Amino acid sequence: MIIKDERDIPKKNKIKFTSQELVSYLYSIIGESFPKAKIIEDTLDSDNNNEKLTYVVHIKQYGAIFNAQLSAKDLIIPVFISGGSSRWYGYTTYDLEIIDNRNEYKTNKLTFNGEDDGKNWGGYSTAKKMLTNAFKQATDALINYLVTNISK
């Protein structure tokens, strides 16, 4: 199994996990579910992948976005009381590439998404909660797919 962080992160964004921390964390989660899986660095060993099935997880998105759109209703009721229309959106996306070298070279790609959003009641703590929920959704879907298909 290979995990690659392929996020495009603008320089002004606040980073919770470095690329290495995020990849290591995902390795540990997958490793708990598949303790016998061979986890290698982010390159395919071309001399050693004949007759094998390789799973490559591409981390495409992992982040939270703030959207502060105020409506007329928010102007009547103070924003600090109502929470306004400002929301945090957490998102995580993985592309799973399955490379089959057992007979003929075949590749298949699947996408797993996690999304959550909530009113900005707690600032960054809300962002963290939305991001955690999105990460859990996408990771659970990925693990469930792997458990179902690897055990076949």
Which tokens is 62 given? 């992992």
Long-range contacts made by residues 50-53, C-beta under 8 angstroms, separation at least 24? 50/101, 51/101, 51/102, 52/101, 52/102, 53/98, 53/99, 53/100, 53/101, 53/102
pLDDT at residue 76, rounded to an integer: 46
The pLDDT, as a whole number, for residue 97 is: 94
**pLDDT tens for each residue of the chain, 152 residues long:** 889 999 888 777 777 778 889 999 999 998 888 887 776 655 555 455 566 788 999 999 998 888 865 444 444 444 444 445 688 899 999 999 998 887 777 889 999 999 999 988 888 899 999 999 999 999 999 999 998 887 65
Q: Which pLDDT score is estimated for 144?
A: 94
pLDDT (0 to 100) of residue 69: 57
pTM of the model: 0.80
